[in-house]
Amino acid sequence: MPNPDRSRRSSPRSGGKGRRTSSDPARIAAYRTLRAITADDAYANLALAEQTTGLSSRDAAFATELVAGTCRALGLYDAIIASAAGRPLRSLQPAVVDLLRLGTHQLLELRVPSHAAVAATVELAREVLSQRVTGVVNAILRKVAALDADGWAGRLRSENADAEALLARHPQWIIDAYADLLPAEELPAALAANNEPPVPHLVIRPGLAEVTELGGRPLRWSPFGVEASGNPAELPPVAEGRAGVQDEGSQLVAWALARVEAPGGPWLDLCAGPGGKAALLAGLARDKGERLLASELQPHRAALVARALAAYPEPTPLVIAADGTRPAWPENSFARVLLDAPCTGLGALRRRPEARWRRKPADLDTLVPLQHELLASAIRAAAPGGVIAYATCSPHRRETSEIVEAASGVEVLDASAVLPDIPDAARGPYLQLWPHRHGTDAMFLALLRKIR
């Protein structure tokens, strides 16, 4: 991690919300990204990509660490800031809170000297807000700097009933969901794995590229991808649409559906956006002489799916914008159906660190009925004897096994037996991956056969 305390304060500034020439472009980019996340519910990866365009590799790396690290520990930092300030965060301007979060991360987690972290954040406050707020930012951060990370851990344990959860950088309800499924001795490792940024995984489009073109180290179980550092967009297969970025867990879900015995006929990806699994499935379907239909509710996400599939030659996979609960196809039409259901995303907290504080238990009350409805629609879409893959990027019991157990008209297949080389992945008849065990997102997979 580069040491960023050499602030460049002699460059000119410009006003307004557009990109400006700044004395500290990395911190400016991190602040703007965090504001987009907390104020506008932006996705961290998308907002960060927008803000770091044009930065040097050093500045982009520091901005990325600032944003990702702050998002992972947001709840913890909020408790520390409130304790240091001696007042609730709601009494502070939201933009000031974001500045304090970034400053706290530098003070407690990064190799930035305390005086430099405080001074740089005060200067950032002056630049992005006004001189008026610099006093409060300076005062609170100096109180944060009075203790190190261990000191704050001890203080929070004496002040805050949720201290242990906050120190693990997870809300308690997420910890409870993990503890419901994992042995007690594994829980700390599972939570710690969510706090480590993942190594990017790349995947080929079968028939369009070879794994050897990607460089990197072959993945452990998926034959379609590699681990690779650096900028994936600079690789010709990725730039040409013949390969993409996709976690190995997602690759394995698509591969399992392709491997299980099923009748001939077209394939369906019911909730295909943004297109990663559809792009892999399309090539696997072509290998079997079949064609894929990819459906996505939101037109802009359907456009992303079409872009992911664009490199395939004629006959190209079909992409439509349609509501999966009100299908645009007849029943009993597809030999294989993938339902990667909308979910809380509790299995992808490494890649989306902001989600752990954005999601709430009440979100399940909205998502679970939709998951039931979509699975019923997927079963209706399958031909008799056809196979449905129900997948979520969440291990939560309400979004996974309870959804499958309520389904009718299907028999449950042994999903872990379809990919027998993956150790410690069986969750009853289902496949459950974990970051700390497998180095993947915590993907859940159930394979179901429609009763003839």
Tell me the residue length of the chain.
452
Amino acid (one-letter) located at 29: A
Is 374 in contact with 271 (CB distance < 8 Å)? yes
393 is catalytic: yes
d(CA 164, CA 159): 11
Residues annotated as catalytic (active site), given as ranges = 393
